[in-house]
Amino acid sequence: MTKILILNGPNLNKLGTRQPEVYGHTTLADIEAMAAAAASAQGASVACQQSNHEGDLIDAIHGARAEGFAGIILNAGAYTHTSIALMDAVAAADLPVIELHMSNIHAREPFRHVSYLSKVVVGMICGFGAAGYPLAVRALLGHLGHDRDD
Ligand code: CA2
């Protein structure tokens, strides 16, 4: 079965509790359930991890291939705009990675317009709120050429 790693970075464990005008009312647990349902509808599965620590995210990316994941959906939070280390880990992952943001980072403060990740990922989804996660699952499975029997 095709397995996808969904990796969420700093502060995303707080979703649904603050700043609903930016990030909505959906919690991280809700989002993980939406992504799992989208994967299951296509005969695939997801495993979800969240960390507030840059090194933990890097370790998860390093280990993903050996753990049998076919690709990664990564919302790196604010590390998107700062972390060359995370960019290097994604570039070396030897797995397709989709960059995801709930908000439209290009419609926000100028410092959020820069992503170190965009140049090393397959593609980026932003601005669709929580719905971006099931979209990213479908996009990644499509990129992988997954069919239900995989
Ligand atoms: O839009 C996104 O998904 C972001 O990756 C979210 C990050 C932000 O730094 C990026 O520029 C765009 C921040 C996530 C913070 O989430 C919170 C949710 C509720 C309460 C506090 C923070």
* Extents of the domains making up the chain: 2-143
| pTM > 0.85: yes or no | yes
Q: Which residues line ligand 1 (CB under 6 A)?
A: 11-12, 14-15, 17-19, 23, 75, 77-78, 80, 101-103, 105, 112
- What gap in Å lies between CA 44 and CA 131, rounded to an integer? 18
At 22, the pLDDT band (50, 70, 90 cuts) reads confident
Tokens describing residue 26: 């959906």
Q: Which residues are catalytic?
A: 23, 101
Give every strand in the sheet of 71-75, ordered side by side: 45-50, 3-8, 71-75, 97-101, 123-126
Class of residue 101 by CB neighbours under 10 A (exposed 0-12, middle 13-18, buried 19+): buried
CATH number of 2-143: 3.40.50.9100
- What gap in Å lies between CA 81 and CA 116, rounded to an integer? 6
Mean pLDDT (whole number) for 52-77: 98
Distance between Cα 46 and ligand 1 center (Å)? 21
What is the best residue among 17, 101, 109, 113 to mutate for testing ligand 1's pocket, by most ligand atoms within 8 Å of CB? 101
Task: Decide: 103 and 23 in contact? Cβ < 8 Å.
Answer: yes
DSSP character at residue 118: G
DSSP character at residue 111: G
Over pLDDT 70: what percentage of the chain? 99
Nearest CA to ligand 1 atom 2: 101
